A and B are shown apart, each in its own frame.
Chain A
């Protein structure tokens, strides 16, 4: 297992009003992984990222990036981080190349135009290097923000809602960019509202709500642990109603042509065999059987609504 590149210990953020934006959050992020932070609006995702990056001061707790405390050794910690903010924030009068050069300079790095050329080419921005940022499309602006965040070759990249408000094609394009970055060894922490995005890209998923980290788990484990499956049985002939001994387990569709059955993949017995036997005993002919795994969205909703805690 890779060593943690970010260590967060008992992090707290309370505003003067008394509101706790983060409440005792502890988390370790491993080098080279993609961690997706999920949570509803106001859950504390952006606050967590903002504290690690230095935009917001914590009220308590500690954060280390690459072993450097973000408050005592902030210069060394920040050199390792790149941030792509949620809002598109670019100087409209600057060209793409000058924007990216500036970001590199801000991090104290010497000029390295060959690297910046490679970076802009990898983000399909090289042809637009002399264009002013105000002339670019929304998708290109987002990629410029990524280029700026990567200009100093950070080891950790934070993407705060990277695909918020962008169309499906562009979202998939961004996913490719993120995968490429991971392939280069960059650790990526992203916040997202799109569960599909976390499901598609993340190695681990953290769920945050009301400032508390409800859980952090590998995506596959999470899906397996919380995963339920739905079995759909398509019938040869429509049924008017279900026998009482079946109606507590099965749901008959309105057209009478299919039956639905939910089961837990972790259970010792799924009950499918008995179910099919019972249908057979009642002379109900089956045309087809299909199963569907519950999505991350279902899992997320069950966690947030159920208020699971303390599993980080």
Chain B
């Protein structure tokens, strides 16, 4: 199967999507970085001044993994969904469908580019955070691994949203109504341990909690849920999204007549 993959097509799609990112690089980077700086100022400096520390970590540093995850999730979903929706909107999707490219190449190109963009922005945010807080990364390898896996998982989710969407309203409704609330309720700005017992149980039904928890563990060495569970959660999400993407391409749902 690997031998039949049209790698050049995947590379062409990836390069085209990255070129779109670099055409508007300041806009692509400035907006999320500015938002994050505001979060640092409001939550880290203003509110953080009243919260001494969480599990021994200064509150300003504690929110860094959550803010990175918030950005990664939002950017992954929006980049991937827009990336595949735009050819559908402009009519150029025909080119992908008549070329000798299968679902693997198209997914690799679009999802790979969306995840790369999200990771680049997250790393810029991490650099920005050093200016505000002295952040120490306990497990750099796992930090990168969680970053890549989460960006991939949510880029795949965004890709599915872009394939499903029939208009711009649908394209924005899932990120706005589902992803953002899940991130805010997933412990971006607090530890689940800070919640009352009942709400801790509710929080554990939120898949994003597992991602933020694993990522935070890579930074500080403590987590709301076992790290292995976080890893399993993100891997399961990737597998489920891949299965859905494959089904969409093989059946032609919302793609072919």
A-B pairs with beta carbons under 8 A, tally: 80
For A105, the chain B residues whose CB sits under 8 A away are 8-9, 11-12, 15
Interface mask (A91-118 → B, CB under 8 Å = 1, otherwise 0): 1111000100111111111100000000
- Closest B residue to A106 by beta carbon equals B99
For B96, the chain A residues whose CB sits under 8 A away are 106
Report how far A168 CA is from B4 CA in the complex, Å: 45
Select which of B11, B12, B91, B100 is within 8 A of A74 by beta carbon: B100
Report how far A221 CA is from B43 CA in the complex, Å: 82
For B11, the chain A residues whose CB sits under 8 A away are 105
- For the residues of B in contact with A, the DSSP-based class is helix
Report how far A210 CA is from B86 CA in the complex, Å: 34
Given A75-B6, A89-B90, A92-B90, does the pair A55, B100 have CB atoms closer than 8 Å? no
Given A56-B256, A105-B12, A109-B8, does the pair A89, B99 have CB atoms closer than 8 Å? no
Tell me the minimal C-beta distance from B88 to chain A in angstroms: 10
Range, interface on chain B: 20 to 34
Select which of B4, B12, B23, B90 is within 8 A of A106 by beta carbon: B12
Given A87-B91, A91-B90, does the pair A54, B23 have CB atoms closer than 8 Å? no
A83 within 8 Å of B (CB atoms): yes
Tell me the minimal C-beta distance from A67 to chain B in angstroms: 16
Tell me the minimal C-beta distance from B7 to chain A in angstroms: 8
For A107, the chain B residues whose CB sits under 8 A away are 6, 9, 99-100
A90 within 8 Å of B (CB atoms): yes
Tell me the minimal C-beta distance from B90 to chain A in angstroms: 6
Q: Using a CB-CB cutoff of 8 Å, which residues 1-43 of chain A contact chain B?
A: 15
B257–A55 touching, CB < 8 Å: yes
- In the complex, how many residues of chain A place their beta carbon closer than 8 angstroms to a beta carbon of chain B? 34
Tell me the minimal C-beta distance from A90 to chain B in angstroms: 7
For A193, the chain B residues whose CB sits under 8 A away are none
Select which of B7, B87, B100, B102 is within 8 A of A79 by beta carbon: B100
A90–B98 touching, CB < 8 Å: no
A55–B99 touching, CB < 8 Å: no
A148 within 8 Å of B (CB atoms): yes
Given A102-B12, A105-B11, A108-B9, does the pair A53, B100 have CB atoms closer than 8 Å? no
Given A78-B99, A93-B23, does the pair A106, B9 have CB atoms closer than 8 Å? yes
For A238, the chain B residues whose CB sits under 8 A away are none
A106–B95 touching, CB < 8 Å: yes
Tell me the minimal C-beta distance from A129 to chain B in angstroms: 16
- Closest B residue to A88 by beta carbon equals B91
Tell me the minimal C-beta distance from B141 to chain A in angstroms: 33
B20 within 8 Å of A (CB atoms): yes
Report how far A57 CA is from B118 CA in the complex, Å: 36
Report how far A105 CA is from B99 CA in the complex, Å: 10
For A91, the chain B residues whose CB sits under 8 A away are 86-87, 90, 92
A106–B94 touching, CB < 8 Å: no
B101 within 8 Å of A (CB atoms): yes
Q: Using a CB-CB cutoff of 8 Å, which residues 34-60 of chain B contact chain A?
A: none
For B257, the chain A residues whose CB sits under 8 A away are 15, 50, 55-57
> A74, A87, A93 — which one has the most chain B CB atoms within 10 A of its CB?
A93
- Closest B residue to A89 by beta carbon equals B91
* 13 further A-B pairs in the complex, CB-CB below 8 A; given A50-B257, A56-B257, A108-B9: A53-B98, A55-B98, A57-B257, A75-B102, A76-B100, A79-B100, A90-B90, A91-B90, A93-B20, A93-B23, A105-B15, A108-B6, A108-B7
A positions within 8 Å CB-CB of B: 15, 50, 53-57, 74-76, 78-79, 81, 83, 85, 87, 89-94, 98, 101-110, 148
23 contacts between A and B (CB under 8 A): A50-B257, A53-B98, A55-B98, A55-B256, A74-B100, A75-B6, A75-B100, A81-B98, A83-B98, A91-B87, A91-B90, A92-B90, A94-B16, A102-B16, A103-B95, A104-B12, A105-B9, A106-B95, A108-B6, A108-B7, A108-B9, A108-B101, A148-B95
